[in-house]
Structure 1
């Protein structure tokens, strides 16, 4: 069989991209498309290199492991060791399952369009067929995601949020931002964004000074004991916001209630962040209900 490196590269780019998408769905991680694409390109370059040259089995295994770890890092980033390990292991499992299916097809049917060398698949298909297959798989994945997504996990759904802090509570409408993947770097805790006027009455006088105008604080490191800094990345750039851990965050949606204390409330000044929403929720708070990270109240 004649091997064309461009087809080999594009084929594995397509395979890597969808393996990473499946992994993101399984670990319930919100990933940027360009990161998944960059990771797929790196994986495809590895495939072209090791498909073209023979290597000792031990070296091949080590390189595969390293390339897999690098691909997971590029696609999902490193926010905590636990999260990174979960993403990497899931990606390896998905890749092994896909590889096993390909090996089974190859050894059982010996299709002329499929060739495997150094555990790297080469599928000889026309560009038009590859585009059609990619479109079909994408439609399937999007449809599967919409069918399996919890009904409450929608930006159009009305949310009511109750924040309890220092034995006092406040209730405010909440907006679920599916693009909000903010987590605390040190604890991997989901971050919820909240406008200062919403929680002002919950704070002590010292905390009101900090949260009310954090940019004017002369010594950001001299924060009260229960306040920490959270790095927030938006379209306009990056910034540090003061945050606190509430005694309880309760989310009410439709006929369900969710409650947790494993969350950080990052407080922003409405004049600096142009948004119509007072409380911006992290979708991981809803998704983590399935994994026991949040208590299902009713």
Structure 2
């Protein structure tokens, strides 16, 4: 007996944890809405268990196609390499979870396994499935933190940003805790310290930001600039950071400037306390 509500709920929660783990290992972090959408699609994809048995190639195409759609819904597919990495990790976690539970079943001799169209239904406690999925996500989180150690802020890169028609060169450091996104495009945001970078910012932009942080910002941003209000939450407080949409942020390399695509730049009112960088970016930025 398969209970439809239990099947959908367990698959939804399991997929949520597995997507979190896949995102961690591929250097991406999705917003809450996208995570819910991807998890819901994963839950619905399990309904093929009730369909008549299909030819193997159709089963394989269905599993591969739904995995691609689920990961695309959660993280998008703008960066092809990271998208492929997330798909592989998501598939690997699914296979590992099913194999782990099947191993327990085979060793205990219980008849609690049902398969159909390459979908495995394990008649075990829903709580066990969710706990194992959460444990896999936690293991990925701990592994990433241990591997990162204390090196994150020592990894810095040169970036080029165009503000008010003027190219601005900044030094940016990796901060694994930086997950700000543009609420309009949902793309990761570069966070710039206004005090540290003020001397490099064009005068109209600098005057606007100074007035903003002094509590007297004009109604209109500098000419040609599109204002963005970036939600920011820290352990101490939450609020909005002023920022601007930019056509492109470029990575400065030995071969020239490599465009990273359209995104936004947010400005923080405090110094980052280092002379080696003026900006911070998250793991999902580059």
TM over 0.5: yes
Which residue matches 1:148? 147
- The Cα of 1:8 is off from its aligned counterpart by 2.4
Q: How does 1:1-298 map to 2 (within 5 A)?
A: 2-33=1-32, 35-47=34-46, 49-54=47-52, 56-57=54-55, 63-77=62-76, 81=78, 83=79, 85-98=80-93, 102=98, 112-153=111-152, 176=175, 178-182=177-181, 191-195=190-194, 197-203=195-201, 205=203, 208-209=206-207, 216=218, 222-223=223-224, 231=228, 233-234=230-231, 236=239, 240-241=243-244, 266=265, 268=267, 270=269, 281-284=280-283
**Closer, same or farther: CA 119–261 of 1 in aligned 2, 3 Å:** closer
Aligned pair count reads 255
3-state DSSP class of the match of 2:145? helix
CA contact (8 A) 2:251 2:258 kept: yes
Counterpart Cα distance in 1 of 2:176 and 2:94: 35
Counterpart Cα distance in 1 of 2:266 and 2:95: 48
3-state DSSP class of the match of 1:90? helix
CA contact (8 A) 2:35 2:74 kept: yes
Counterpart Cα distance in 2 of 1:141 and 1:239: 33
CA contact (8 A) 1:11 1:123 kept: no
Structure 2: any 5+ residue segments left out of the alignment?
233-238
Counterpart Cα distance in 1 of 2:50 and 2:250: 56
Counterpart Cα distance in 2 of 1:167 and 1:105: 55
- The Cα of 1:95 is off from its aligned counterpart by 4.5
Counterpart Cα distance in 1 of 2:210 and 2:221: 15
- The Cα of 1:193 is off from its aligned counterpart by 2.3
**Closer, same or farther: CA 137–267 of 1 in aligned 2, 3 Å:** closer
Counterpart Cα distance in 2 of 1:98 and 1:163: 35
- The Cα of 1:103 is off from its aligned counterpart by 7.3
Counterpart Cα distance in 1 of 2:281 and 2:71: 22
CA contact (8 A) 1:230 1:266 kept: no
3-state DSSP class of the match of 1:191? strand
**Closer, same or farther: CA 206–269 of 1 in aligned 2, 3 Å:** same
Deviations 1:220-258 (A, max 9, x none): 5x54xxxx6574531556965266969979xxxxxxxxx
The answer to which of 60-69 and 20-29 deviates more is 60-69
Deviations 1:72-91 (A, max 9, x none): 2331145xx3x1x3344234
**Closer, same or farther: CA 59–72 of 1 in aligned 2, 3 Å:** same
Which residue matches 1:253? none
Structure 1: any 5+ residue segments left out of the alignment?
250-259, 294-298
**Closer, same or farther: CA 234–113 of 1 in aligned 2, 3 Å:** same
